[in-house]
Amino acid sequence: MTSHSADPDTKFSNLHVDINAVSTSPLNATPVAEHYPITELCVGVAFLLLVVLIGIVAIYQPIWSVPETGRYWIVRILTVVSFIWIVISIYGYYAAKKVGFCVREQDITLFKGLIFRKQITQPICRIQHIEVQRGPLDRKVGLANLHVFSAGDITQTFVIPGLVNDDAVAMRANILAHKELQHHG
């Protein structure tokens, strides 16, 4: 029988930990950029206006005539879609206001969710790489998303959205520098 440990007398243990005896410091979430929630709301409203415009053009376009019952249903469908879209956009606005993050020596934590709060913590030692991503609208309003990729599959990755671009770039550099210090001692 082969032993996998250096000392044959050492035995594996997995003792119970008293969670009441563990002391932790509270995490203070740093909010994302102040204009991130309103940007999200504006994007939602802009897409809604585009959908409504397409519906109106479909009703009144000169190429083929839309029967009266078709117009009736298009208007009803547009009304329902608009209502749902407005509710989702308002929810997205308030959910975006709840997004925050915390960077500590050993980990990064993302806070998100309006109704169902979620707290995701990623140890810095498990980070494979970090990307700062910016779409056209993000560039226009000075925002960026920080994508944190960890060892593991895609479910181990998270995004901190709505950061001011300079903050996202600095955060990425600091995390990578700290990771190097941890790795090389």
Q: What averages of pLDDT result for each successive group of 10 residues across the chain (185 residues)?
A: 55 78 79 95 93 88 85 90 94 95 90 93 87 94 93 77 95 85 59
pLDDT of residue 138: 93
pLDDT of residue 1: 44
pLDDT of residue 32: 94
pLDDT of residue 3: 46
pLDDT of residue 61: 83
- Sign of the CA dihedral running 91, 27, 32, 124: negative
Cα 37–88–78 angle (5° rounding)? Answer: 130
Distance CA 120, CA 122 (A): 7
Could you tell me the pTM of the whole model?
0.77
